[in-house]
Structure 1
Amino acid sequence: MSTRTYRVIVRGVLDGLDDDRRAWLRDHAAEHDLFASSFTERGSTAYDGSLAAFSHRVVVHVDPGPGEEDDARTAGELSALQWLEEVGVGARRLRSTATCTDDVRIRRR
């Protein structure tokens, strides 16, 4: 069975930051600039120096069928939560959008 490919964007608010985590995030902010982020299978997280909000972009593959978009959003949110756990910060107010790249049509001129 083939899979469908989705690009998922997860947005949220960084939460539970202590002084050490704030310092670490600020030290690594250049690596997580919005202009450096891209859709990858590992995921790419962006935030700015204010440390208020973040976005996580990821490519996921899901089985086709009813609810596949929900499955893609869930996989994207899990990817974002995994990154947040790796760097030791929490998040709240997560929201996500998913776009199936298989359905995108490219208009050629």
Structure 2
Amino acid sequence: MFRVTIRGAFEGLDEDDRAALRTSIDSFQVAFTEAGTFTCDRSLSAFTFRCQVPAGPDDGEAEATERAVRALAAHGYPHRVLRVGVTDMRDIKIRRKGKRH
């Protein structure tokens, strides 16, 4: 599983786009989902898009980035990508606290 964070800027939003974004964005609902979630500033200029991308056995960051950008484009808002961060969750090590005596 990959978690991808895309930071970008909206470009050329019309009033319908702005209205849809204002009603759909919940700043308390920040999560990595396969469809992706947006957070953005009040002016609807800058945004952060978070999505979760399933990983195949040979998938790397480039494939995850490509799928995340497609998920972002599927929302249909005109934008430009400024920065992409990818975390391969298969590489995350979980430290479990042991019992103390």
Report 1:68-107 matches (<5 A). Answer: 68-83=60-75, 85=76, 89-107=77-95
Normalising by structure 1, we get a TM-score of 0.76
CA-based RMSD of the aligned residues comes to 1.8
Number of the residue aligned with 2:44: 51
Letter in 1 for 2:14: D
Deviation string for 1:43-79 (max 9, x for gaps)?
A: 11122311111111111113233x6111001111111
User: Which of 1 and 2 has greater Rg?
Assistant: 2
Q: Which contiguous aligned blocks of 4+ residues in structure 1 show a shift greater than 3 angstroms?
A: none
Normalising by structure 2, we get a TM-score of 0.81
Alpha-carbon contact 2:6-2:81 (below 8 Å) kept: no
- Counterpart Cα distance in 2 of 1:24 and 1:41: 20
- Counterpart Cα distance in 2 of 1:79 and 1:20: 20
Letter in 2 for 1:74: E
Query: Which stretch has the larger CA shift, 31-40 or 42-51?
Result: 31-40
Letter in 1 for 2:31: S
- For structure 1, which runs of at least 5 residues remain unmatched after alignment? none
Bigger helix share: 1
For these two proteins, the number of residue pairs brought into alignment is 97
Alpha-carbon contact 1:33-1:48 (below 8 Å) kept: no
- Counterpart Cα distance in 1 of 2:79 and 2:70: 12
